[in-house]
Chain A
């Protein structure tokens, strides 16, 4: 059973019964939660990418060593640089 049908089964919320205030609050809540979920999603995929790049040795402890730590921070920033570069380039192509 997927999450959505689980949600539908558990809650029998009649949204039409909510007051205008409650509706607005709920809407804002959903906007915030979706944003949080999207950020978390990006963090998951970045951790996946940067783990592959930066944690190259065996596991010798539960902590990141100095190099791994700075590599991971650089990895995030460079990945985003790359992302912005691609977007910028595509944007310049559109202008041609």
Chain B
């Protein structure tokens, strides 16, 4: 009984994690497409040229690099602010 319940629990957890990962990936793809289309295909031709698709590859890498920089800066800042607020507010945190 207990192990039945526990396996249910881990199944649910795995599924929540998967949903979150999917959601994250979907958003990234959407944004990469939007921004890189803007940068790489200024005037759409009858097909995607090899130059354009090479641009996409680089742009995608670059966007992910930017994502990582933003993520690091953002988390740093949150931690700083939490440290400041933490003196009064305790361990609760703002998130």
CB within 8 Å of B: which residues of A? 3, 6-7, 10-11, 13-14, 17-19, 22, 25-26, 29-30, 33, 35-44, 46-48, 50-52, 54-55, 58-64, 68-69, 72-73, 75-77, 80
Residues of chain B within 8 A of A10, CB atoms compared? 15
In the complex, number of A-B residue pairs with CB atoms less than 8 Å apart: 125
Per-residue interface assignment for chain B, residues 60 to 95, with 1 indicating a CB less than 8 Å from any chain A CB and 0 otherwise: 111101110111011101100000000000000001
- Contact assessment for B9 and A11 in the assembled complex, using a CB-CB cutoff below 8 Å: no
Q: A29-B16, A33-B17, A46-B74 are in contact. Are A38 and B8 (CB under 8 A)?
A: no
Closest to B30 in A: A44
- Contact assessment for B55 and A55 in the assembled complex, using a CB-CB cutoff below 8 Å: no
Q: A37-B23, A80-B77 are in contact. Are A64 and B69 (CB under 8 A)?
A: yes
- Chain B's interface: helix, strand, loop or mixed, by majority? helix
- Contact assessment for B70 and A76 in the assembled complex, using a CB-CB cutoff below 8 Å: yes
Per-residue interface assignment for chain B, residues 12 to 40, with 1 indicating a CB less than 8 Å from any chain A CB and 0 otherwise: 11011101101110011001000110011
Q: A25-B9, A29-B13 are in contact. Are A47 and B95 (CB under 8 A)?
A: no
Chain B min CB distance to A6 (Å): 8
Residue of B13, B22, B57, B77 touching A26 (CB-CB under 8 A): B13
- Contact assessment for A35 and B15 in the assembled complex, using a CB-CB cutoff below 8 Å: no
Closest to A22 in B: B9
Residues of chain B within 8 A of A18, CB atoms compared? 5, 8-9
Complexed CA–CA distance, A11 and B78 (Å)? 35
